[in-house]
Amino acid sequence: MSDQNPPNQPPGPPPSAPPPPASSWDAPPPPPPPAAATADWSTATADPYGAGGAAPVPVAPSGAAGLLDPRWNIATGPPAGWEPKQKIVAGILGILIGSLGIHSFYLGNSKKGIIQIVASVFTCGLLGIWGFVEGIMILIGNIKTDAYGIPLSE
């Protein structure tokens, strides 16, 4: 009972304790240095790109379309460094977790993958057989390409 504070006294260190040492966090931080002289903005244009709108998409130095370049499409073929999807991986994903549509996402069919997830949820997993069957079809060779028409590798 003697180690508790009386009801009218706020909690704190005992009266015999030494005061806490002053530390650097007690002092406010120094003010920032003054800003350097800025350029004359009256001569700058409001739009640095000249035509308005967003900045142009950077292009690879060789002129080839990169992986994230919006100009890449099926007609021009995949960009340099592209590797085709593996048939074994897609098939095993379809067999093991096909009800979640993971194999469809892997092959680039994201809309179909979302439909498989929704169908499995609304049927309590009953339509999960859809992914299982597709996994088998991938492994036996009935599904031969990904969403972009690129053949699956062995």
- In this structure, the number of other CB atoms found within 10 A of the CB of residue 129 comes to 13
Give pLDDT, residue 67.
54
Pick from 107, 88, 108: nearest CA to 153: 88
First to last CA, the chain: 79
**pLDDT at position 26, please?**
64
The rounded distance, in Å, linking the Cα atoms of 64 and 150 is 19
Place of tokens 């100009």: 71
Q: What is the pLDDT of residues 52-82, one digit of tens each?
A: 555 555 555 555 555 555 555 556 666 667 7
Residue 149 confidence (pLDDT) = 80
pLDDT above 70 for 24:
no
pLDDT score at 47: 53
> Which phi and psi (to 5°) does residue 146 adopt?
-90, -170
Range 115-129 average pLDDT = 91
Per-residue confidence (pLDDT) for residue 33, from 0 to 100 = 77
